[in-house]
Structure 1
Amino acid sequence: MSNKTIELSITGMTCNGCSSHIEKDIKKTVGIVDSSVNHITGKGDFTIDTDKIEKEELINAVNNIGNYSVTNNLEKEDCCSSNSDTIIQKESSNEKHQFDLIVIGGGSAAFSAAIKAEGLGLNTLMVNGGLDFGGTCVNVGCVPSKNLIRAAETAYHATHSNFKGVKPKGVDIDFKQIIKDKKELVSALQQQKYLDVVSDFENLTMLQGWAEFVNRNSIIVDGGKRYTATNIVIATGATTNIPRIEGLNDVGYLTNVSLFDLEEKPESLTIMGAGYIGLEIAQAYSRLGVKVRIIEFTDRPLRSQTIDITDVLAEQLKSEGIEILPNFRAFKFEKKGNHTIIHCNCPDGSTTQIIEKGHIVVATGTKPNTSKLGLNNIDLKLSEKGHVLVNEKMETNISNIYAAGDATNTPPFVYTAATEGNTAINNAFTLLKSSVDYSSLPWVVFTDPQIAGAGMDELEAEKAGIPFEVSKLDLIHVPRALAAQDTRGFIKLIRNTETDKLIGARIIASEGGELIQQLSMAIKFGITIKDLAQSFYPYLTLGEGIKLAAITFGKDVSKLSCCAS
């Protein structure tokens, strides 16, 4: 056997998952003895058995993995090598610049668009700047946050019991290991659910960089090369909206992007904002042993929901030792030694100073990533907050430009983004036009208890002028909740009194998110309250609460026996 190590320069790598992808797939090639790839340096060292594989075959093998490309290679003689020479493979002079489709972005909406485009045989360029391919959800949003929430929930239940006869003895939290496991999960899912999915696409070119419009058909990337397409989809996502407060930029704040990568457990956190992102972070880190405070400039957490929901949630958070300061507005930050001083206006009109020994976390909503796109060059219409304005077909005011995901004025969820990306391509390139209907859209806030909804709440129904009635069932009337000794929360149904059809639902309960899809489907397909009340539900399940809530429109469930109808 004659071994030789060849160093290759490889383009197209954007993260650790890319290098792992190449190392894994190259093993399928006969004659590869060992490989080590580094996405940061863009280099790969490959040891080959020259009796089984030629260097040109190695280069072809790498080029056939995903969207990676060898630009040159330099052989190294190792202990078993017999010679050493140099081969240069120059960048192709006929690099493609004309496409059917350009997708700007690299998250859920962008990948959904690319997948649909590949199915239609479209030559597609995906240009992604900012976060790694996969976007917010897998890198810094849904995946890492829910992983940390579950870890924190495990720790919490190791120290808290709903049963008098069960006395937990505590928990040993290895915070650094939790974060390392989170990073491994993110890397694995980014590879499996994004990069691997498109690795064998014949018509997709992926490019890392910032895109800027030149005109309605053309972009330049990082101020350099120009690319042109028949249609363009904007799917650039959103990022944390940093408020303009004196001194904030000087004190070293964190967002979910940077917080989730801290391997040393913070002593404490002051979270600016009590929306769903701030609340999920607050409860997770509190349960992992961090002292947490929330500053909210409105009157209560999760102000978008009715007060009966937020009252239940606020009570739970406070019971876990989380300090909530509603109607407080920070107007100045300053650093004193290792501490941060937060100057706030109080509800009574006075001012106060809050000392934070740990970190400031900004969770004051999001803003669309549209400011760097050069949209002034094409007169694309935006909302006041910078979202791309689209209709139900994902069309903008420019006929060949579509948009999808968090960069638009649509609901900001990963699953809506995926549908929107697919819809945009369908409407841009086929005659089978489609629209996105959000009227039964389900959503979940992953606090404990969880908050879930679909359709309208009572305030929205009243504003729309719909005749409605509300049924609200406290979980103390649900046998499953009683058996679990966890009766926090309620199930609320809203019906149209003229049609008896369900038009909305809100749930706050442990694992309440698992119930909302059924209610979303009921709204979508016009199911009546009578249908819900007369359906079969397994006993004992939390889902039985839906039946009981439906019965409550006409009966007092406290006077019914178990399994009654």
Structure 2
Amino acid sequence: MSRQRIEITGMTCEHCAVKIEAVLEDAGATGVFVDYRRGFAELDPEGVDLEQARAFLRGTGYELGDPLPIEGDGTPEQLDDVTGADAGYDYDLAIVGAGAAAFAGAIQAFERGARVVMVEHGTVGGTCVNVGCVPSKTMLRAGELYGLAGHNPHAGVPTSTAPVDLGALVAQKDALVERMRKEKYCDLIEDYGWDLVKGHAEFGDADSLLVDGEPIRARRYLVATGARPAIPPIEGLEEAGYVTSTSGLELRELPKRLLVIGGNYIGLEMGQLYAHLGSEVVLFEMLERISPLEEPEVADALAEVLASDGVQVVTGARVVRAARDGGEKTLTVIVDGDERVFRGDEILVAAGRRPNTDSLGLERAGIELAGRGGIRVDATQRTTNPRVYAAGDCTDSPQFVYVAAAQGATAVRNALTDGDDRLDYTALPRITFTHPQVAAVGLSEAQAVEQGLDVDVRTLPLASVPRALVNRDSRGLVKIVAERESGRILGATAVAENAGDIILAAVYAVRFRLTVADVASTWAPYLTMSEGLKLAAQIFTRDVAKLSCCAA
């Protein structure tokens, strides 16, 4: 008689699984395996009295379903439907990488009963927890507080600052990273129980993976190898030496003068961080404005903010050469046709990120790259090899950790079921963690016009938001782009303290096709920055300068 699977509701922990296992064995079952996370038990049914087990569990909160036979090797039928029950496979899913996309995919696969192996040659956890979001944002918060302490705008409550101990700050950051890596990544591998193999992975052919030369064969593969800092081909840069967004968070001594190459989100965040901590900062952007992918008003607002922080911003700047001159580093930059030399103690390169797609043997597996060097995927995350999927920063997708995780989960659902799930990026938010923050969602004004849409646009200066006035910092704005005829909100941008929190309401507005009238007539809590979105919607029809503080 074949083994059976019984769905069990009410289990919440390992203790529940142990209890259910004991009850089933007392009822005569043998070979019992209980998985509380996936909510089922597997057993050899001969001689078992399920009614006895049900009677014993009655009133305890657990409930046994009807038994179902398990065919083949015990993996869900959806796997066999897609791939056949070839016993030559070592795993149902092999994942290359151990970051956000990889873990989201592994959890999806494990919850579907798949046999999973994850291969990682470096540190488990990927970019976000190790060298990206977590370490940078805790450092940015420290810099923000230090900057505020030195420039407190409130009368009668003097504050002061002591010299920065960068080594102590970095050590505290490292302790947080280590704890979160353990809790949110390493511990999960043990909790879920998939296999982790340390080593370098590359495809041997279209059907197999080699890990340090040893083959692994899986029914499906997920490539989730992330990205790394891109280094532009600047003459003398390697000889002069530089830091990136990764190594720049490891400096133990504060540079007196820092030269930053790149004026998009990484350069802006890192440049302002060191300016807040006390470095002189010069920031170079090749295009004519910083934050070039956002609304022009964002560049204007950030330029004012950075100037007040002491940052020198040089736009339209083409860095052509780097060098060492005694104890200093230099950058030769062409600005307005003239060649200028800038000096500093350190150079920070923030010129974007490059997908980790080399040394994977992709060509042997028939996996093509897209235009920007990422793995080419379709809307279901499938590569040009139908058995291989890819997710996260190793593709040409938006490089956000929440996108990577969503893609990893979507890719695995599709891989294991031959499904057609697709992600909708229409209401995808984006944030730059400067102070004040920049957050946006949907279409910019220029993008909407390029798509041939007739738009109506309003921009609310932050000076019209009461919260900004009581904070004594009104640098910033809220901008809404709406379809003229319907009033439907197509996009929104905020430059404000906690703009990343404000933008969530705009995400819902874009996602669910709300109009400016909908937002203008919806409750907004007074004396919050989020009220700025409602006020921006109100100025489509009213002059908010002529309203009392909390008038509807």
Quote the offset at 1:125 in angstroms.
Answer: 1.5
2:201 is equivalent to residue 214 of structure 1: no
Q: SS state of the match for residue 125, structure 1?
A: strand
| Alpha-carbon separation, structure 2, partners of 1:433 and 1:339 | 56
The answer to whether the 8 A contact 1:270-1:361 is kept is yes
Structure 2 SS opposite 1:311: helix
Query: Match for residue 250 of structure 2?
Result: 261
Alignment equivalent of 1:245, drawn from 221, 234, 238: 234
Shift of 1:275: 1.1
| Counterpart AA for 2:304 | E
Residue 226 of structure 1 aligns to a residue in which SS?
strand
The separation in 2 between residues aligned to 1:262 and 1:407, in whole angstroms, is: 27
Does the CA contact (< 8 Å) of 2:224 and 2:393 recur in 1? Answer: yes
Asked if the contact 1:371/1:386 (under 8 Å) is kept, the reply is: no
Amino acid at match of 1:275: N
Q: Residue 82 of structure 1 aligns with which residue?
A: none
Cα deviation for residue 97 of structure 1 reads 7.5
**Contact 1:298/1:328 (8 A) holds in 2:** yes
What's the secondary structure of 2:110's corresponding residue? Answer: helix
**Structure 1 runs not aligned, ≥5 long:** 1-95
- C-alpha distance in 2, partners of 1:230/1:559? 66
1:359-391 deviations in Å (ceiling 9; x for gaps): 111111111000111111123221222111222
Q: Distance in 2 between matches of 1:260 and 1:476?
A: 34
Separation in 2, partners of 1:560, 1:192: 49
User: How many residues in Structure 1 have an aligned counterpart in Structure 2?
Assistant: 465
Of 489, 502, 506, the match for 1:519:
506
Superposed, 1:157-236 pairs within 5 Å as 157-202=148-193, 204-222=194-212, 224-236=213-225
Structure 2: runs of 5 or more not aligned: 1-87
Paired residues of 1:115 and 1:198 also in contact (CA < 8 A): no
Name 2:538's counterpart in structure 1: 551
**Is contact 2:100-2:404 (8 Å) kept?**
yes
Q: 1: CA distance between counterparts of 2:549 and 2:245?
A: 45
Structure 1 partner of 2:383: 396
What is the letter of the counterpart of residue 122 of structure 1?
A: A
Alignment partners' CA distance in 2, 1:233 and 1:184: 31
- Whether the aligned pair in 1 keeps the contact of 2:166 and 2:251 (CA below 8 Å) is no
Question: Per the alignment, in what secondary structure is the counterpart of residue 219 of structure 1?
Answer: strand
Matched, 1:113 2:105: yes
* 1:413 corresponds to which of 388, 400, 408: 400
- Please state how far the C-alpha of 1:453 moved relative to its aligned partner: 0.4
Q: Distance in 1 between matches of 2:284 and 2:535?
A: 38
Larger CA deviation: 267-276 vs 148-157: 267-276
Question: Alpha-carbon deviation of 1:397?
Answer: 2.2
> 2:372 & 2:418 partners in 1: Cα distance?
33
Contact (CA 8 Å) 2:93, 2:218: kept in 1 or not? yes
Deviations 1:144-187 (A, max 9, x none): 11000110111111111222344323344222111100000000
Aligned residue type for 2:101: A
Determine if the alignment matches structure 1 residue 366 to structure 2 residue 357: no
Kept after mapping to 1: 8 A contact 2:455/2:481: yes
What amino acid sits opposite 1:351 in the alignment? E
For 1:378, give the aligned amino acid: A
Q: What corresponds to 2:14 in structure 1? A: none
Does the aligned pair in 1 maintain the 2:461–2:478 contact within 8 Å?
Answer: yes
Closer/same/farther in 2, CA of residues 383 and 431 from structure 1, 3 Å limit: closer
Q: What is the Cα deviation at residue 98 of structure 1?
A: 1.7
Are the aligned partners of 1:217 and 1:232 in contact in 2 as well (CA < 8 Å)?
A: no
C-alpha separation in 1, matches of 2:549 and 2:387: 59
- Which of the numbers 68, 90, 105 marks the counterpart of 1:98? 90
1:350 CA drift (Å): 2.0
On the 8 A contact 2:201/2:210 being kept in 1, the answer is yes
Select the residue among 482, 500, 525 that pairs with 1:495.
Answer: 482
Equivalent AA in structure 2 for residue 135 of structure 1? G
Q: Tell me what 2:328 maps to.
A: 339
1:145 aligns with 2:136: yes
1:489-544 C-alpha deviation (Å, 9 max, x unpaired)? 11111112233221110000111111001110111112221111111112122121
Q: Does 1:530 align with 2:520?
A: no
Specify the SS of the correspondent of 1:345.
Answer: strand
Q: CA deviation at 1:432?
A: 5.5
Find the counterpart in structure 1 of residue 367 from structure 2.
380
Normalised TM-score (structure 1): 0.80
Cα distance change on mapping 1:157 and 1:244 into 2, 3 Å: same
Please say if residues 488 and 510 of structure 1, whose CA atoms lie closer than 8 Å, have aligned partners that are also in contact.
no
Cα 1:374–1:431, aligned 2, differ >3 Å: closer, same or farther? closer
CA distance in 2, matches of 1:190, 1:459: 40
Does the 8 Å CA contact 1:158/1:171 hold for their aligned counterparts? no
Distance 1:537 1:446 in 2: 24
Question: In structure 2, how many angstroms separate the alpha carbons of the residues matched to 1:257 and 1:128?
Answer: 19
User: Residues 440 and 520 of structure 1 are in contact (CA less than 8 Å); yes or no, is this contact kept in structure 2?
Assistant: yes
1:452 equivalent in alignment to 2:439: yes
**Alignment partner, residue 282 of structure 2:** 293
Secondary structure of residue in 1 paired with 2:425: coil
2:466 is the counterpart of 1:479: yes
1:431 to partner: Cα distance: 5.9
Code of the residue aligned with 2:323 in structure 1: it is E
Map Cα deviations across residues 400-421 of structure 1 (whole Å, 9 max, x no partner): 1111001112111001110110
C-alpha RMSD over aligned residues: 1.6
Q: Distance in 1 between matches of 2:120 and 2:521?
A: 51
Q: C-alpha separation between the residues in 1 aligned to 2:106 and 2:462?
A: 44
Residue in structure 2 matched with residue 303 of structure 1 by the alignment: 292
> Which residue does 1:10 correspond to in 2?
none
Identity over aligned pairs, percent: 38
CA-CA distance at 1:353 after TM superposition: 2.0
Indicate conservation of the 8 Å contact 1:392/1:437, yes or no: no
C-alpha distance in 1 between matches for 2:333 and 2:468? 41
- Tell me, yes or no, if structure 1 residue 351 matches structure 2 residue 342: no
CA distance in 1, matches of 2:479, 2:459: 4
Write the distance in 1 (CA, Å) between the matches of 2:520 and 2:477.
17
The answer to whether the 8 Å contact 2:229/2:354 transfers is yes
Q: Residue 322 of structure 2: SS of its match in structure 1?
A: strand
Q: Which amino acid aligns with 2:205?
A: N
Say which is worse superposed, 228-237 or 266-275, in terms of deviation: 266-275
Counterpart residue identity of residue 262, structure 1: L
In the alignment, the residues of structure 1 paired with residue 92 and residue 548 of structure 2 have an alpha-carbon distance, to the nearest angstrom, of 64
Question: 1:424: how far off?
Answer: 0.4
Matches of 2:442 and 2:181, distance apart in 1: 31
8 Å contact kept, 2:497–2:529? no
